[in-house]
Amino acid sequence: MLEKRVISAAIMLPLVVTVFVMGGWPYVFLIVLAMLLGGLEYTRMFRRLGYVMSNPLLVLLILAWQADAIWTLGAWRLPLVVGPMLVVSLWALYQAKEKPDQHRAVELWALMLAGGMYIGLGGGYLIALRTRPDGLWWLLVTCGVVWIGDSAAYAVGRRIGRHKMAPTISPGKSWEGYAAQVLSGPVSGLFLAWLSTQIAGSAHGLVLWHGLVLGLVVSVFCPAGDFLVSMMKREVGVKDTGSLIPGHGGVLDRVDSVLWAGILGYMLATLLA
């Protein structure tokens, strides 16, 4: 398992970073594709509990929440988001009328709206972060902090993790691993911000203290994204959201923390830059 995990990471990481650097439509395509695949994993998971969601409508919701980041819709932003939400509501009403014994209609409706918003909004902020003039460097530092922190938490947790954070949600997560992740955050953020200055000079838009703050905030809060997906998997009774990535599980398993990182990175870039 560990060998598959390392091999997959060694293949994917250079490809992902290359697309990050390219930006533009290749980057947008990568994020949209990842969010849509994550959405399909989401519906497949909850099907195990009898919730038969509409994949086309969930795709529509995810795309609607990302559309403004892609095209800057202005006055059309609100109608484009509200429209699919109303369509999903009508669909849930139809399901409740036609199949009253098959679905718990209110829960099905809530799962559709929550999944579409959560996944779509996270993807939208990842796109919005990259489209900033200094977005490449903010994105690389933000995601770098997440990847380094995840690796630190995994390594330390496997070796000396004894005190479980929330065993009813994610039995493998320990306070020791979380401490390693939090401690690595400011250090990796500072280092990556310094590295960006060496590569891009003053054009990169970050200063060292930006990296320090970004690393601290991301490392403290982004594990919550991991826990949210773990909570879903625990509720459904699966180990991974999918099996697309050998050694890592599904796409949603890999982007759970990055969804939060995109939102936090964008907020901090807006406030600090």
| Secondary structure string (H, E, C) spanning 180-228 | HHHHHHHHHHHHHHHHHHHHHHHHHCCCHHHHHHHHHHHHHHCHHHHHH
**Euclidean distance between CA atoms 191 and 144, whole angstroms:** 10
| Average pLDDT of the segment spanning 184-194 | 94
Read off the tokens for 21: 């650097």
173, 165 in Cβ contact below 8 A? yes
**Euclidean distance between CA atoms 27 and 16, whole angstroms:** 9
* Overall residue count recorded for the chain in this entry: 273
Tell me the Cα Rg of the chain: 19
Does residue 100 surpass a pLDDT of 90? no
**Euclidean distance between CA atoms 130 and 141, whole angstroms:** 12
Taking the model in full, what pTM does it have?
A: 0.92
- The per-residue pLDDT for range 3-23, each reduced to its tens digit, is 666 777 788 888 999 999 998
Average model confidence (pLDDT) across the chain: 89
Q: How confident is the model at residue 2 (pLDDT cuts 50, 70, 90)?
A: low
**Euclidean distance between CA atoms 73 and 209, whole angstroms:** 33
